[in-house]
Structure 1
Amino acid sequence: MAVFTEVGREELNRLLNQYDIGEAQRFEGISSGIENSNFYLDTDKGKYVLTVFERLNKEQVPYYLELTHHLGKKGLNVSAPIPAKDGSLSSEVCGKPCCIAACIPGQYVELPSAKVCGELGAVLAQMHSAVEDFPLVQENTKGSKFWLSVMPGLKPYLPERLYELLEEEVSYQVDLENSPAYKALPNGAVHADLFRNNSLIEVNGKEEKLGGIIDFYFACNAPFLYDLAVVLNDWCINLETGEIDMPKAQALIDGYNSVRALTEADRELWQDMLRRAALRFWVSRLYDYYMPRPASLLKPHDPSHFEKILLLRRKAKASDLPWI
């Protein structure tokens, strides 16, 4: 989340006329994230978040909004869009598609407890079970096509050793996704970006409880195991070293298994998925770092963090990874 598009009071009022959520009382940009323009919106009827889509056009937006709407109807606490008066899930402001969602209670917690990691594992499995009847399909916009397309532009910026690592891992993962084992993995609509800052945690003294999940705008159809690997590589690590925090990782996996059992086929590709998840964020952070877009509140993430994680996952022994 960031601010690329400034929404003025006149544009905001025109937008709110399409909804039955009251009149604006507070309107403030949100500085975290790098893809869309996001704003806190308080009205006389409640607290909301306005998202203005910067890269998605009106034909692309429905997948993401229909997904969160679907999950919300299944009882999951996600940032589902509020329908406008005409029933549509999206609107337009400043010439760009947008949506409004209710604020989910909770806050960002830098180091969630193992208990919360277990709760997240269970919720992630519930999400994966809930999409069995979700009909829409979206490819991973940060997958292998993206990696291959940006590699030539990244080459001048990277030391030779890093570019060789990039080439080698991308080649490995392209071969993997074409393999029968990969294609046989259970798959469907996944969040694909469920980092700690895309969750909200309710804090009461020393007690923490998972509040809900936000920011589904990298959602896509992919193996469910990939979604789990993305989560583990962010939630269950030492933030300084990138090493896996075993108690948190095992809590995450146990929570997942309590709802939706992982299989031996998942286990066979577990290390590959951890590598794949690390590669995805290394490449996208390299791209955002060296080829940034202008934004009033944008701070690109350090790509070296996921370079470190990728190297660790590549050299790890499969027997040392957390599992059932």
Structure 2
Amino acid sequence: MAVFTAIGDAELRRWLADYSLGDVLSFEGIASGIENSNFFLTTTAGAYVLTIFEKLAAHELPYYLELMRHLASHRVPVPDPIPRRDGALFGLLAGKPASIVTRLAGRAQLAPDARHCTEVGTMLARAHLAGRDFALAQPNLRSLDWWLSVAPALHTHLSPAERRLLDAELATQQAFFASADYARLPGGPCHCDLFRDNALFVEDDHAPPRLGGFFDYYFAGNDKWLFDLAVTANDWCIDLANGALDAVRLDALLRAYQAVRPATTDEARHWPTMLRAAALRFWVSRLYDFHRPRAAALLTPHDPGHFERILRERIAHPPTRPLTA
């Protein structure tokens, strides 16, 4: 768990005076996340999540918060930001920007099966299509330009074999991103971080799992939809021990996604390369977080080796279950 900013009861109540949410019933830190301070907030008006943004500045928040409002208005189950009395979607708490969003139903499913992947594939495609008329635009800030900018600082921490892998894959992705095929790939607002712990399911023994929704949109940006799908597949559809793709779960994810939004010819052709791009993105970011950590009350950086294994696996064994155009 990462709680960078501690909030006292009196300070919280003063801040909540700008909202119409009633009285506080409970307030507790959330045991996940490494970018922001997150808290469960329950009031007499309902259940919410309060986020204090540790890295994002106030001028950066409208894209993320307005995107969630847009998707929620299109019946995509995501946290819906709660406006303050003055209509603003965030304010300053402990000197940092902070927001309150609705709390989704369900729990994270960290051992998903094909049924969960079907739900995720369907909803991811729906979210992509719902974002087509979103008025704001912002690039994915953890894409190629960022990888290239931080790679030199990582070199001193890597073994010779790791440096060779990083440099070779960066060259491969630079060529891909500069290609005419890449330019033709469809895109729009993307989650860009849709891991197992960023979705919730409502489950019982008498019904199939039902998706409660996607959350943590604070890495979102405009990107290729294929990249978002690849990020998702590289987490939901793999053997965590070795990074290999699980054919059954991958088939479920891709069939469900393409039932809503069929892939283009260019997307089908470059699916293996985009899976590598998605693996590289998280290998680089985990290396950066591991070797350049920030202070936090409780913070355990993710293992960079996990996505190094996935990247090597995607290079050595491209997926046998292709996208179909």
Note if 1:210 corresponds to 2:211: yes
Alignment partner of 2:2: what SS? coil
Q: Paired residue for 2:257?
A: 256
Aligned pairs for 1:29-178 (under 5 A) are 29-178=29-178
Paired residues of 1:22 and 1:44 also in contact (CA < 8 A): yes
Equivalent residue number for residue 235 of structure 2: 234
* 8 Å contact kept, 1:249–1:322: no
Whether contact under 8 Å (2:250, 2:321) holds in the other structure is no
Secondary structure of the corresponding residue to residue 256 of structure 1: helix
Give the partner amino acid of 2:283: W
What is the Cα deviation at residue 216 of structure 1?
Answer: 0.2
Instruction: Provide the C-alpha distance between the structure 1 equivalents of 2:142 and 2:308, rounded to a whole number of angstroms.
Output: 16
Q: Deviations over 1:222-261 (max 9, x none)?
A: 0000000000000001111111111111110111111111
Q: Say if 2:188 is the partner of 1:179.
A: no
Deviation at 1:288, TM superposition (A): 0.5
2-side partners of 1:315 and 1:280: how far apart? Answer: 18
Report if aligned partners of 1:32, 1:298 keep a CA contact under 8 Å in 2: no
Are the aligned partners of 1:29 and 1:39 in contact in 2 as well (CA < 8 Å)?
yes
Distance 1:317 1:100, change over 3 A: closer
Q: Distance in 1 between matches of 2:225 and 2:116?
A: 20
TM-aligned CA deviation for residue 138 of structure 1:
1.1
Which stretches of structure 1, 4 residues or more, deviate above 6 A after TM superposition? none
Partners of 1:246 and 1:322 within 8 A in 2:
no
Distance of 1:150 and 1:91 partners within structure 2: 31
1:268-314 per-residue CA deviation (whole Å, 9 max, x = no partner) reads 11011100000000000001111100111211000100000001111
- The equivalent of 2:292 in structure 1 is 291
Moved more, 222-231 or 80-89: 80-89
TM-score (norm 2): 0.97
Amino acid at match of 1:18: D
Per-residue CA distance 1:143-163 (angstroms, 9 max, x = gap)? 122112211221111101101
Q: Distance in 2 between matches of 1:22 and 1:113?
A: 40
CA–CA distance in structure 1, aligned partners of residues 316 and 321 of structure 2: 11
CA RMSD in angstroms, aligned pairs only:
1.2
For 1:305, the equivalent position in structure 2 comes to: 306
Does the aligned pair in 1 maintain the 2:263–2:323 contact within 8 Å?
Answer: no
Q: Write the letter of the residue equivalent to 1:272.
A: T
Deviation at residue 10 of structure 1 after TM alignment: 2.1
| In 1: Cα distance, 2:269 partner to 2:167 partner | 23
| Aligned AA (2:282) | F
Aligned partner letter, 1:238: D
What residue in structure 2 maps to residue 247 of structure 1? 248
Residue 322 (structure 1) shift: 4.1
**Distance (whole Å) between structure 2 residues aligned to residue 260 and residue 40 of structure 1:** 34
Q: How high is the TM-score relative to the length of structure 1?
A: 0.97
1:65 deviates by 0.3
CA 195–208 in structure 1, closer or farther in 2 if over 3 Å, else same: same
CA contact (8 A) 1:2 1:297 kept: yes
CA deviations on 1:99-146 (whole Å, 9 max, x unpaired) are 101110000111112111111111001011001111211122111221
Contact kept in structure 2, 1:48 and 1:100, CA below 8 Å: yes
Structure 1 stretch 90-99 or stretch 1-10: which is displaced more? Answer: 1-10
Q: Percent identity of the aligned residues? A: 46
Count of aligned pairs between the two proteins: 323
Q: Which runs of 5+ in 1 are unaligned?
A: none
Q: Work out the CA distance in 2 between the residues paired with 1:84 and 1:48.
A: 14
Per mean C-alpha deviation after superposition, the further-off stretch among 272-281 and 130-139 is 130-139
- Counterpart code for 1:97: P
Q: Deviations over 1:200-230 (max 9, x none)?
A: 1112127422111100000011000000000
1-structure distance, mates of 2:69, 2:174? 32
2:172 and 2:99 mapped to 1: Cα distance?
Answer: 38
Q: Given residue 248 of structure 2, which amino acid in structure 1 is its aligned partner?
A: P
- CA separation in 2, counterparts of 1:87 and 1:221? 26
> Structure 1 CA distance, aligned partners of 2:141 and 2:297?
24
Alignment of 1:314 with 2:304, yes or no, is no
**Residue of structure 2 in register with 1:6 after alignment:** 6
Task: Give a deviation string over 1:56-110, Cα, whole Å, max 9, x none.
Answer: 1110000000100000011111012111111111111011111101110000111
